[in-house]
Amino acid sequence: MNMLCRSSTISFRLSLFLLTTSFISAHTITTSQTLSDNRNDTLVSSNGAFALGFYSPASSRNRYVGIWYNNMKDKTVVWVANRDDPLPDRSGVLKVIEPGRLLLLNNATKATIWSANISRSAQHSPLARLLDSGNLVVVDESDESNIIWQSFDYPTDTFLPGMKLGKNFVSGHEVYVSSANSNDDPATGGFTYRCDPSGYPQTVIKVGDSFRYKSGPWNGVSFSGTPHLVKNALFSFGVVINENEVYYNFQLLKDDVYTRLVLNEFGIGQRLIWSDETRSWKPYLAFPNENCDSYKLCGAYGICSTTWPECSCLDKFMPANPQGWNAGNFSNGCIRKTPLNCEDGGNGFLQYSGVKLPDTEGSSYNTSMSLEECKVSCAGNCSCSAYASLNISNGESGCLLWFGELVNMREISPGQDIYIRMAKSELGSRSRKREIIIVTVSVVTGIVLLSLGLFLFYLVRKNLKHQQQETDNLRDSSETYEEQKIQMFELSTMINATNGFSVSNKLGEGGFGPVFKGLLEGHDIAVKRLSTTSLQGAHEFKNELIYQVKRKMLDWPRRFDIINGIARGLTYLHQDSRLRVIHRDLKASNILLDSDMIPKISDFGLARICGGNETGAKTSRVVGTYGYMSPEYAVDGLFSVKSDVFSFGVLVLEIISGKRNRGFTLVDHRHNLLGHAWMLYKEERSLELADSCLEYSSYLSQVARSIHVGLLCVQEETEERPNMSSVVLMLNNDGVLPQPKHPGFFTGRDVVIRSETWHSSNTAGTSNAMTISQLEAR
């Protein structure tokens, strides 16, 4: 029976199946067979990778014909036949009829629910087959190369390897991906992902008729806007351009790799790779990924960067409407400081480097020209505004020409060069980098729902030295928030000082972000902007000035709110967000308080995004902050949500006590906040941990409870620590709490040995951590 099922050449009889099995498992149906939902029939591709059958999305009773990965426990559907025409029950029957049309019938009402459009006919009997690539094809029985119809020509929300995303100029058919309404409803949603052939091809995401994202042109290696997505060991990809068609496609280079690109219900394109190890999908790339990916964000001749404000005018350009521009409305873009006068030949070209090339919708190109010929060609046509190399895969070749305004540019690394037409008088030398760094200012950009906060802090040199001594000594366990002499500046001051974080003030690119030169109170300063990726769209963007908080201002209810706020934020990152995020560097200075004292978690510079079920990983590069790192992370490089929980516990104890957890290397546990808290807990004197300036007599049980939860979070054994959603529950309910076991980095000699091991084997990490703690601001 099984052999019969697997054999595609033997045409099986329905009655036989009904008698002996309820389950069809072949990869082909002929005109004499049907695929019935009632019988739970499925087709399975001959390599076993994909299955086709009927399914219901979670929390829906509707039935759909879909294709999914056959070997994965959680059904990942990659194609749906009747996405907009669900069946109400299990009466669906799929069949293939002459001359090659697929039909989905309701066997109860005999109504046609869905059918495939065909423009050709089979010469002989048609048959439908699920191929190893996940493509459902209808072919001619006697000539299987004659593809009458294929699901790859009508994708739903998933772009699979082997598909051709683009346009066939002969048939006029365009293959594009469109988002689903939601996880529970595969119906056509509002977003599409296409390979737009107009001008020079680029991939785009549209919402309705308007553009939301454009990748920038294909440059032979990558799309100009996603320079990091290049051919690798797992897959290759590219854009094919000829007179018959333009398309973008992906090819797997290994058989046992699964990758898919899905346009999600929010209009974000996500490339995911299946991890056999964790048995889950790992995100590999997402777009749009940050504000700068928004189409045309900075208007004509504006350039977007991850600084704040995100838009600036290209050098030699100025805002068309300075008032609107300064108020953050960039839509009017920029204009030349010196207008062009093309006819009298008084202009040339200025090179701009490190950019995502502008929108190529109205561009023209020539694959055989050299860059010099390209320049001549652009110079000879007054409406040509810029030129660039077309193909950088093997040196530089080809020619791309822009006509009219340049939009959708951003700073990117590695970026490309573009040559923009400019009045001759503007072609002199441009300002260069210089000056020394005295002052460090950081702008930290946060991500995910917790939004983007802007955080500035400033250290004068003498404070920096003063602090370094403190850090080195590790002696000061009574240090308080008040004692840190860190001067805070208004964001507007920083903007003025750096000329609006303008490109011309950029000194260079540091480890965590660009560094800008500025002038503040007669001193040269360097402004370092720490930035990370925002996974949210522009509407999640929010800028807030952060206030330095005086310890006394923080009464107990406020502190408790802050603890709760951080706990909920972490719960979101760990469990509720679509991507599991492990922060890895949770500490006091990464908690930003807005003017309402609402905490926001910031600085995701070290954060890791993990796929669905993945809870942790191992790294050989331990970075984080001294005093907040869990033992398993500091020593073995193992990080997980539970290492964030540890850092959270330290934070809770710090917030309650108003003291820092430092010096965990010391054997004498009185110098360590965790040790101190643990000792007090054992002696049933927990409340003595609370900050001496706290008036908490009305909140005794809440304070004691918070200390207890803090201790549960810092337990040495990873498994003993609660997860963040339990923490939220524990903080806010009266239930009995488990007894905490001893905290990490506290008891016994082995702990001291462990921390020494880390010290000696990871000097770089130590100095890094030192640097981070020097920059801490409270």
Which residues are known to be catalytic?
585
Is residue 394 involved in binding ligand NAG (CB under 6 A)? yes
Is residue 367 involved in binding ligand NAG (CB under 6 A)? yes
The residue among 213 and 248 lying less far from ligand NAG, judged by its C-beta, is 248
Site for ligand NAG (CB under 6 A): how many residues? 27
Q: Interface with ligand NAG by CB under 6 A: which range of 184-192, 294-302, 324-332, 572-580?
A: 324-332
Of 315, 373, 405, 479, the residue at the interface with ligand NAG (CB under 6 A) is: 373
Is residue 34 involved in binding ligand NAG (CB under 6 A)? yes
The closest of 535, 530, 459 to 501, measured between CA atoms, is 530
Token pair in block for residue 520: 């503040």
What minimum distance in Å lies between the beta carbon of 609 and ligand NAG? Answer: 31
Kindly write out the interface string for residues 347-366 of this chain, putting x where it contacts ligand NAG by CB under 6 A and - elsewhere: -----------------x-x
The residue among 402 and 501 lying less far from ligand NAG, judged by its C-beta, is 402
H or E element in which residue 325 lies: helix 322-326
Other Cβ atoms within 10 Å of 524 Cβ, number? 15
Is residue 369 involved in binding ligand NAG (CB under 6 A)? yes
What minimum distance in Å lies between the beta carbon of 220 and ligand NAG? Answer: 4
CA 5 from centroid of its chain's CA atoms: 43
Is residue 40 involved in binding ligand NAG (CB under 6 A)? yes
Contacts (CB under 6 A) with ligand NAG, residues 193-232: 218, 220
Angle at 134 between CA 133 and CA 136, to 5 degrees: 115
The residue among 292 and 674 lying less far from ligand NAG, judged by its C-beta, is 292
What minimum distance in Å lies between the beta carbon of 198 and ligand NAG? Answer: 13
Of 168, 198, 338, 393, the residue at the interface with ligand NAG (CB under 6 A) is: 393
Is residue 190 involved in binding ligand NAG (CB under 6 A)? no
What minimum distance in Å lies between the beta carbon of 651 and ligand NAG? Answer: 38
Residue 363 C-beta-side C-alpha neighbours within 13 Å:
27
Output the CA torsion 558→561→563→564 (10° steps): 180
Q: Interface with ligand NAG by CB under 6 A: which range of 31-39, 242-250, 487-495, 617-625?
A: 31-39
Q: Interface with ligand NAG by CB under 6 A: which range of 391-399, 449-457, 487-495, 508-516?
A: 391-399
Q: Interface with ligand NAG by CB under 6 A: which range of 159-167, 368-376, 432-440, 732-740?
A: 368-376
Is residue 701 involved in binding ligand NAG (CB under 6 A)? no
Contacts 24+ apart (CB under 8 A), 631-637: 631/716, 631/744, 631/745, 631/751, 631/754, 632/718, 632/744, 633/584, 634/754, 634/755, 634/758, 635/754, 635/755, 635/757, 635/758
Of 403, 489, 541, 572, the residue at the interface with ligand NAG (CB under 6 A) is: 403
Is residue 332 involved in binding ligand NAG (CB under 6 A)? yes
What minimum distance in Å lies between the beta carbon of 268 and ligand NAG? Answer: 23
Of 8, 11, 38, 702, the residue at the interface with ligand NAG (CB under 6 A) is: 38
Is residue 32 involved in binding ligand NAG (CB under 6 A)? no
The closest of 275, 305, 276, 303 to 290, measured between CA atoms, is 305
What is the b/e burial string over 646-673, where b = at least 16 CB atoms within 10 angstroms of the residue's CB? bbbbbbbbbbbbbbbbbbbbbeebebbb
Which residue shows structure tokens 């091809």? Answer: 201
- Strand (E) positions, 132-288? 136-140, 143-150, 158-159, 165-168, 174-175, 177-182, 185-196, 202-207, 210-214, 235-241, 245-252, 259-263, 269-275, 280-287
DSSP 87: B
Other Cβ atoms within 10 Å of 763 Cβ, number? 9
DSSP 731: H
Token pair in block for residue 507: 């000194």
The residue among 64 and 696 lying less far from ligand NAG, judged by its C-beta, is 64
The residue among 11 and 40 lying less far from ligand NAG, judged by its C-beta, is 40
Sheet containing strand 259-263, edge to edge, reads 158-159, 259-263, 269-275, 280-287
Beta strands 523-530 and 580-582 are: unpaired
Contacts (CB under 6 A) with ligand NAG, residues 110-129: 117
Is residue 329 involved in binding ligand NAG (CB under 6 A)? yes
Other Cβ atoms within 10 Å of 748 Cβ, number? 11
The residue among 237 and 512 lying less far from ligand NAG, judged by its C-beta, is 237
Question: How far, CA to CA in Å, does 264 sit from each of 153, 185, 192, 271, 720?
Answer: 19, 12, 10, 10, 36
Of 26, 28, 29, 39, the residue at the interface with ligand NAG (CB under 6 A) is: 39
Contacts (CB under 6 A) with ligand NAG, residues 78-97: 93
The contact set with ligand NAG (CB under 6 A) reads 22, 34, 36, 38-40, 93, 107, 117, 218, 220, 324, 329, 331-332, 364, 366-369, 373, 381, 383, 391, 393-394, 403
